[in-house]
A and B are shown apart, each in its own frame.
Chain A
Amino acid sequence: MRPETWPMFLEPAIWGFFFEGLRATIYLALVTVALSCVVGLLFALGRLSRRRWIRWPSIFYIEAVRALPVLLLIVYFGIKGSALFQPIFGADFELPTFWAGVLGLSMYTSAVLAEIIRAGIVSLPRGQTEAARALGLSHAQTMRSVILPQALRLMVPAVMAQLTTVIKDTSLVGTIGIFELLRQGRTIYTQFFNPVEVLLIVATIYFVICFSLSQASRRLELGYVPKAARIKIQDIALRDQAA
């Protein structure tokens, strides 16, 4: 390691630069997770629906999108995003790169969250549904006031774990020109030619955030979680957290 390259990191201006990137990263991750929770819930309910014309498209969306690389979706929306919305917003509409990134990240994350939510719903004991139906609640009422409140509580740790994955994945949107943490770092090291130092700092910042989040999600226990649900959710997590 070259000791003479470190003093520049004492300057507050450099840290201001990193901080700007960090703000974009966190903002991207939060918007993505919020959007994906809503879309994911819809697809999870769609997959559990008894109507075939709702169920089959939902299964197709979830399975196909989960099996695609996130970077492919991000690059696709980065290039093609504006053209997709031009029929709606007029011919000179330009999709801001930030929203192209959110779109790519959310498409993937919503499919993953749909699977997590479905695993939470399916793992609840059948007696819950049966009792609610026997009391005269409709299917929609059963879902809304009996099943979902319990299932969503089960999933809070899994959703938090997914947030760490999303934060890691935001490092990919630099490729379409969003200035998040890694991209800010790249700007610095192309200027000063010090990738070792910059990448170590960037990695440390990601590590601190993701490590504390994943520890918190592991500690978080919201009531009783059935063992089957925990295993199922962990399995999904394994496949999609590495991505």
Chain B
Amino acid sequence: MPGGIAFEFPQLFFTAFWVTIQLSIFGLLSALIIGTVVAVMRVSPVAPLRWIGAAYVEFFRNTPLVVQLFFLFLGLPLIGFRFSTDTFEHIFRGAAIGMGLYHGAYVAEVVRGGLLGVDRGQIEAARSLGLSYPQMLRYVQLPQTFRSVIPPLGNIGIALVKNTSLASTIGVTELLFAAEIVESRTFRAQEAFMAAALLYLSLTIPLGIAVNTLERRMLVAR
């Protein structure tokens, strides 16, 4: 049976699988928070905020995630920030933050598109009814973007699950790392990587189907 090796080393494979899932969830949560904040900055009426937001998005989208992870893991401790090294918990936290920073830039672009898609008349109406700018964002502009933004956010989520594999380069024992450990112990590369691949597919394929179904349903609704 392909991937049967996972049951010979359940401790390694399934613990690592759980780490991958946790890293995806924490990474996605921080990406959503960072992305929403940056998106709001990018459409704000204050010009310097818009510039900072744009610089953030362009920088994090146009540099490789591994470089960012290495910087969190090796660079920051040298300039005095020690939250992402030394213990496993710390490295995991650093990796989750790295995922959030990188994918947050993509989330920001999607949410910004949603925010700009809201009819200008609605914003003007809310402002003339006496809502402050933050109130208008909170009650009028942001709630309307959530619907249109979900399918593209799902696509970013799929990319994030795949990208958690890069955390193995800084020593987080997630799925790919587990496969490499098993491979170096048993020399059964074919089976070990097949098991890891199947476990990754068990996360990404259902997510992909869910995103496609949502997309189609929203097309019909429109």
Is there an interface contact between A207 and B59, defined as CB atoms closer than 8 Å? yes
Interface size of B by CB at 8 A reads 49
Is there an interface contact between A68 and B200, defined as CB atoms closer than 8 Å? yes
Is there an interface contact between B74 and A207, defined as CB atoms closer than 8 Å? no
Q: Which residues of A contact B189 (CB under 8 A)?
A: 76, 79-80, 83
Is there an interface contact between B165 and A207, defined as CB atoms closer than 8 Å? no
Is there an interface contact between A72 and B193, defined as CB atoms closer than 8 Å? yes
Is there an interface contact between A195 and B103, defined as CB atoms closer than 8 Å? no
Question: What's the dominant secondary structure at chain B's contact region?
Answer: helix
Is there an interface contact between B163 and A68, defined as CB atoms closer than 8 Å? no
Q: Which of A69, A76, A169, A241 contacts B200 (CB 8 A)?
A: A69
Q: Which of A45-53, A92-100, A148-156, A196-204 contacts B (4 or more CB under 8 A)?
A: A196-204
> How many pairs of A and B residues are in contact by the CB < 8 Å rule?
133
Interface residues on chain A, size class: 35 or more
Q: How far is the CB of A219 from chain B (nearest CB, A)?
A: 15
Bound: A63/B59 CA distance, A: 30
Bound: A203/B158 CA distance, A: 25
Query: Whose C-beta in chain A lies nearest to the C-beta of B79?
Result: A196
Kindly supply a per-residue 1/0 record for chain B positions 139-172, scoring 1 wherever the CB is within 8 Å of any chain A CB and 0 otherwise: 0000000000001100110111011111011000
Is there an interface contact between A168 and B63, defined as CB atoms closer than 8 Å? yes
Bound: A109/B183 CA distance, A: 25
Given contact pairs A63-B205, A67-B208, A172 touches B75 in the complex (Cβ within 8 A): no
Given contact pairs A71-B176, A195-B74, A203-B71, A172 touches B66 in the complex (Cβ within 8 A): yes
Query: Whose C-beta in chain B lies nearest to the C-beta of A174?
Result: B66
Judged by a CB distance under 8 angstroms, whether A15 is at the interface is no
Q: Which of A71, A175, A200, A242 contacts B159 (CB 8 A)?
A: A242
Is there an interface contact between A196 and B156, defined as CB atoms closer than 8 Å? no
Given contact pairs A195-B74, A199-B70, A242-B163, A67 touches B62 in the complex (Cβ within 8 A): no
Q: How far is the CB of B187 from chain A (nearest CB, A)?
A: 9
Judged by a CB distance under 8 angstroms, whether B196 is at the interface is yes
Judged by a CB distance under 8 angstroms, whether A31 is at the interface is no
Bound: A240/B106 CA distance, A: 11
Interface-centre pick from B58, B78, B163, B208 (highest chain A CB count, 10 A): B78
Judged by a CB distance under 8 angstroms, whether A129 is at the interface is no
Within 161-200 of A, Cβ neighbours of B (below 8 Å) are at 164, 168-169, 171-172, 175, 182, 186, 189, 195-196, 199-200
Judged by a CB distance under 8 angstroms, whether A34 is at the interface is no
Judged by a CB distance under 8 angstroms, whether A160 is at the interface is no
Kindly supply a per-residue 1/0 record for chain B positions 176-195, scoring 1 wherever the CB is within 8 Å of any chain A CB and 0 otherwise: 10011001000001100100
Q: Which residues of B contact A238 (CB under 8 A)?
A: 106, 110, 152, 155-156, 159
Q: Which residues of A contact B158 (CB under 8 A)?
A: 67, 239
Given contact pairs A195-B75, A239-B159, A242-B156, A211 touches B62 in the complex (Cβ within 8 A): yes
B residues neighboring A (CB under 8 Å): 58-59, 61-68, 70-71, 74-75, 78-79, 102-103, 106, 110, 151-152, 155-156, 158-160, 162-166, 168-169, 176, 179-180, 183, 189-190, 193, 196-197, 200-201, 204-205, 208, 215
The 3 closest A-B pairs by CB, nearest first: A242-B159, A239-B155, A69-B165
A to B CB contacts below 8 Å, 6 in the list: A64-B201, A67-B158, A168-B65, A182-B64, A182-B66, A210-B62
